Amino acid sequence: MASTQPKKIRIPVHGVLLLDKAAGSSSNDVLMKAKWLLSAKKAGHTGTLDPFATGLLPLCFGEATKFSQDLLEADKTYEAVVHLGITTETGDTEGAVLETRPVAVNLAQIEQVLARFRGPINQVPPMYSALKRDGKPLYEYARAGITLEREARQVIIHTLELLDYQAPMLTLRVKCSKGTYIRVLGQDIGDALGCGAHLQGLRRTEVGGLTLDNAVTIERLSATTEPERASMLAPVDALLSTFPAVSLPEELAERFIHGQRLPPGKTHDPLHIRPGRVRVYRQQGAQLLGTAQLLAHGVLAPERLIAM
């Protein structure tokens, strides 16, 4: 009888892996591989990258998964290569070519058009997307040749910078709000220039306060030992670095981790922290306890707590 390989033992792993995703892999595929390599019990990502895209994909393990939603809501920064003159079915390199047009634009025209896409803009989600209609992703309708009406949604383009133009390739840096489709932005810029376009390449460089600095590839993770892999994880609060920090003495920390609201005047220093989400620590050992909402009048309301 053939021997069976023993089942891998899963262990509690807590932290954030800053992964530099390669082209050709889905976000879920690399998440599952990283989870297996770390023998982690629980894992999740903070928003997908298309298979053809590369760059920063923060992966959350254990207690860090409680805070992954914060990065889903965060601004993202990309470097995008837009191929002018060619439109495709999907808006990127993975779709069939629909139309080819001549490209006769100069830098002045490009800058003029880019200015129109900075700030709040309305964007129609693409049919080739994971947005759902009647429980089914839009891309399933698109693959069946069905086009549905989609309402435009407002997104914010904080930064839209021209990095290079070597016709027909336009290289841009984009910092944008959640829900922005860079494929659609590239298409819309091409339409505004009168020649059409599709997204040739996309690399995500920032998610919230996280960057590609110290990010690792799945190949590097695979080439190391399991203890070394665990050392590559950033702490759970790496996801929360954009929120103000509140530090609690022992008595208040115990009340906080039991879900009790804390009264004003005793919970945070400095006192000028504005109302909103904060990260909360135990003063002794600087241990992360979770997140809270700092309410009007200084009341601290527990939100998501770390399992102790």
Rounded Cα distance between 251 and 179, Å, is 41
- Is 164 tagged catalytic? no
Q: Note the helical H segments in 162-282.
A: 182-192, 218-222, 226-231, 250-257
Catalytic pick among 20, 50, 70, 188: 50
Beta-strand ranges (E) seen in the chain are 15-21, 43-45, 54-61, 76-84, 86-88, 97-100, 119-123, 132-133, 136-137, 153-166, 169-176, 197-207, 210-211, 245-248, 276-282, 287-294, 300-305
Element (H, E) at 115: helix 107-115
Phi/psi for 187 (5° steps) reads -60, -45
Pair type for strands 15-21 and 54-61: antiparallel
Tokens at 308, concatenated? 């102790």
CA angle 277/75/55 to nearest 5° reads: 125
| Exposure string over 180-211, b if 16+ CB within 10 A, otherwise e | bbbbbbbbbbbebbebbbbbbbbbbbbbbebe
For CA atoms 151, 89, 197, 81, give the dihedral sign.
positive
> Which residues are annotated as catalytic?
50
